[in-house]
Structures are given as structure tokens and as C-alpha cells.
């Protein structure tokens, strides 16, 4: 019984300590864009490590930009 209580106390210590480690949530960025506005030009690196600008596709192809939060971070 003492071993169980010791393990339970240790687990609870780690759980409680873990709650204090999180950073305070950041305020959401303010955007001046409205629904229907044209997206501002930006550049990213493609899978071939080449820079690609949004303006390269403007008027030629449809572009979908998807963000996967915490994807490929190992966490």
C-alpha cells in the first residue's frame, strides 16, 4: 500500500508540474483582410527547395493553402 501511495504521489507531482509548464496563449493576430479580399503576395519553399510566390499562380491556377498545426513536429 505504501508503494502504491508513493507512486501515486510521484505521478500527481508530475501531472501538477506539467500544468505549470504551458505558455500563456498568445493573442490572435489582427488582420485587415476581409472575406473576399485578394490574398497578399507571399513566397514559400516548395518540396524541391525552390522559392515559389503566390503571384506566380495568380490568374493561371487555383491555389489552396492548408496549414497542419503541429504536423511533422514529433510532438
User: How much is the pTM?
Assistant: 0.45
User: CA geometry: angle at 37 spanning 35 and 38, to 5°?
Assistant: 135
Confidence at residue 69, expressed as pLDDT on a 0 to 100 scale: 77
What are the start-end ranges of the H helices in the chain? Answer: 2-19
What are the start-end ranges of the H helices in 20-65? Answer: none
Whose CA is closest to 39, among 50, 55, 28?
A: 55
Hey, how many other C-beta atoms are within 10 angstroms of the C-beta on 46?
8
The residue ranking higher by pLDDT, 16 or 7, is: 7
Output the average pLDDT for the chain: 78
Q: pLDDT by residue (tens digit) across 18-28?
A: 665 556 677 87
pLDDT band per the 50, 70, 90 thresholds, residue 16 = low
Whose CA is closest to 41, among 25, 58, 27, 26?
A: 58
Amino acid at each position: 500500500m505504501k508503494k502504491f501511495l508513493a507512486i501515486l504521489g510521484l505521478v500527481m507531482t508530475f501531472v501538477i508540474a506539467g500544468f505549470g509548464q504551458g505558455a500563456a496563449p498568445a493573442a490572435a493576430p489582427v488582420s485587415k483582410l476581409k472575406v473576399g479580399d485578394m490574398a497578399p503576395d507571399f513566397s514559400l519553399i516548395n518540396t524541391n527547395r525552390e522559392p515559389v510566390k503566390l503571384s506566380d499562380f495568380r490568374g493561371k491556377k487555383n491555389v489552396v493553402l492548408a496549414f497542419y498545426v503541429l504536423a511533422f513536429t514529433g510532438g
